[in-house]
Amino acid sequence: MSISTSVERIEPVLAWIEAQRDAALADLQRFCRQPSISAQGQGMQEMAQLVAESLRELGAETSQVPTQGFPVVVGRLAGESTRRLAFYDHYDVQPPEPLEAWSTPPFAAAIKDGNLYARGVADNKGNLVARLWAVRAWREVYGALPCGVTFLVEGEE
């Protein structure tokens, strides 16, 4: 596949994502509003469940692998080829203290001046949600993924 063909294939996917921007942003806010502080054990099971549910909504075969700490969420999606793409993410965040340094509550996922402020938005919930929406977009536009995709999402970065 040439570069121009690749660009031509991605343009409808990007257009679909842009058309779904508000829903994708709301999904990111939902993820960021769920505390998941592994160092304090806060909200970890709930966050693992949210990740698993989101993967199931995509049609992924999903499991939670127990560890000595928090579970690893695995989601597998089929694709048109036998090749497989693996995504690694984590659903835990660092403690938000000192709280007085925040201009908004760390789990409010507030939008100010066009920016989203939340603990974990850049490390790593934003990346995870972007990948979930990329998979969703490709499937909406083309009906199937070009290869299998495995999500490996753990709770103790």
Inter-residue contact 154 to 38 (CB < 8 Å): no
Q: Of the candidates 144, 111, 151, which has an alpha carbon nearest to the alpha carbon of residue 128?
A: 151
Which positions are annotated as active-site residues? 92, 157
**What's at 51, amino acid-wise?**
V
The end-to-end CA distance of the chain, in Å, is 36
Residues 110, 24 contacting (CB under 8 angstroms): no
Alpha helices (runs of H) in the chain, residue ranges in sequence order: 3-19, 21-33, 44-57, 125-142
